[in-house]
Amino acid sequence: MRETRQVFNQASGFILVLALAICDSAWASNGYQLNGWGVASRGMSGAGIALEDDAMGAAGNPASIAELEGNQWQIGSTILHARPSFRAGEIPAGEPTPGNFAFRPGIRRGDPDQASQVSKIFFIPYGAATWQLDDRSNIGVVVYGNGGLNATYQSFDNSSFCPAGTPQRGILCFGDAGSDIAQIFIAPTYARRVNDWLTLGANALVVGQSIEIRGLGIFAGQSQNPDKLTNNDHDYSYGYGGKVGAQAQISPRLRAGLTYQTRVYMTEFDEYSGLLAEDGDFDIPSYVQFGLAWDAVPRLTLVADFQKIFFNSINSLGNSSASPGLLGEDNGPGFGWEDVEAYKVGALYRHNATWTWRAGYTRTKQPVRPEHVSFNLLAGSVLDDHLNFGFSYKVDHNSSLGMAFLWAPRNTVSGPNPQVPGQQLETSLEAFTIDIAWQHRF
């Protein structure tokens, strides 16, 4: 019993340190939600909630840890390199009319003035630990980031296109323009094998998030509180929610998985109550995911998942960018995001006792509609396709090393400038990630 308490205390300290590391990280966006958590999931492009693989599985489906034998921990990181860009088209003759704002034609890339590519690489650490209570139930805790929104465009002379009375610098006339939104989830988990074919699990979600928005001073006249609109450094909010999951053995070779995350209710971002709808409210949307896993042959398992994320239910995300209210009001402008549907397929091949290989593909209906492009220039969230590959290497009886690779090809969304409808705008994003993790049984 004393040894168990000691291990638990050490693991709890490790999780706390990891949580602080995630809170201190900023990262570029792979959409509002990462495409899976941990090397096993991300190697199959976020598919596989019908499988049990490692402790990080609790982030996707809390029921998955019920089948894990013994105690284990895992620590790892997603290393991400994103390439956001923005292009403004030519302005038709006779436009803009007085009082309307036109973007300077040309291409702007995120962080174009940075001297080193290292500044564009972001680290997203994560970790988990599980303990087997008996032959039917496990407990655990998992700490992970849930993606983020980040795009920064450096200041430049823009006196030819910016209105008088502004600094006349940068794409929005008020210098550097950028967003930095990050989230951390801490999820204590319990899972139990109910009978020979059904396992159930649940976790409590304790969530923190931070935000910083810069360079939006040109919209002060459209805000309910211009002092709480932009350039107020980092602000923080905290909240809670839950996730439940199930896995079922349908036949000897076919398993099903289901998970549902509730809406996560967050405290308001007071320093940005003049920008985000509902006085700075930025709750995290609910989602549901269903998956199947089929053992095609003894060494090969094929998986297919469907996920739906209910972005439109959050006013600051779902409200139209043309909403009639002022920025920050309940009916104020938002990102105009639609709900997202993602289709995921993957394969797991157990080559031998030492090597396991994974691959996956996701096709996502990205949330940004053409008419809302201008409101999404600072939110790098327009990726459609994700291609993944990964492996695990068993170093010894108790330890293994895992890696996963992702390439999200460049995707572009185009739409009109609502101030100058004849001017076309494009926002683009391409991303690469490498995941590396160490797993140990104890």
Taking residues 51-78, report their average pLDDT. Answer: 92
Whole-number Å distance between alpha carbons of 378 and 29: 10
- What would the mean pLDDT of 228-249 be, rounded to a whole number? 95
The percent of residues above 70 in pLDDT, for the chain, comes to 88
Query: What is the structure's pLDDT at 114?
Result: 41
Is there a contact between 84 and 108 (Cβ–Cβ < 8 Å)? no
* End-to-end Cα, the chain, rounded Å: 15
Q: Is the pLDDT of residue 13 over 60?
A: no
Residue 25 pLDDT greater than 60, yes or no: no
Report the alpha-carbon distance of residue 152 to residue 186 in Å, rounded.
28
How confident is the model over 370-415, as pLDDT tens digits?
A: 888 888 777 767 778 899 999 999 999 999 999 999 998 988 888 8
What is residue 20's predicted lDDT score, i.e. its pLDDT? 43
Exposed e or buried b per residue across 251-283, where buried means at least 16 C-beta atoms within 10 angstroms of its C-beta:
eeeebebbbebebbebebbebbbbbbbbbbbbb
Mean pLDDT of 313-324: 90
Residue 147's pLDDT is what? Answer: 59
pLDDT of residue 153: 84
Residue-wise DSSP of 169-204:
BSTTSBS-EEEEEEEEEEEEEEEEE-SSSEEEEEEE
Count of residues for the chain?
A: 442
69-78, 116-125, 134-143: least confidently modelled range: 116-125
Q: Quick check: 69 pLDDT over 80?
A: yes
For CA atoms 339, 322, 32, 186, the dihedral sign is negative
Q: Which residue has the higher pLDDT, 382 or 68?
A: 68
Domain ranges for the chain, please list them.
Answer: 2-441
Is a pLDDT exceeding 80 seen at residue 135? yes
pLDDT of residue 280: 93
Class of domain 2-441: mainly beta
pLDDT, one tens digit per residue, over 155-188 is 888 888 888 888 989 888 898 888 888 889 999 9
Where does the pLDDT of residue 32 fall: very low under 50, low under 70, confident under 90, or very high at 90 and above? low
Confidence of residue 110 (pLDDT cuts 50, 70, 90): confident
- Ranked by mean pLDDT, the top range of 86-90, 248-252, 316-320 is 248-252
Q: Give me the pLDDT at residue 372, please.
A: 83
pLDDT at 116 over 60: no
The two three-digit tokens of residue 368, written as one number: 């940004």
pLDDT band at residue 218 under the 50/70/90 scheme: confident
pLDDT at 383: 77
Is pLDDT of 88 > 60?
Answer: yes
Give the residue with greater pLDDT, 282 vs 93. 282
- 76-90, 102-116, 361-375, 418-432: segment of lowest average pLDDT: 102-116
* Confidence at residue 98, expressed as pLDDT on a 0 to 100 scale: 62
pLDDT digit string, tens, across residues 322-367: 888 999 999 999 888 889 899 999 999 999 999 999 999 999 887 8
Judged by DSSP in three states, 67 sits in: helix
Whole-angstrom distance, CA of residue 284 vs CA of residue 310: 9
Task: Give the model's pLDDT for residue 101.
Answer: 78
Label residue 8 by pLDDT band (50, 70, 90): very low
Of residues 258, 193, 199, 268, the one with CA closest to residue 235:
268
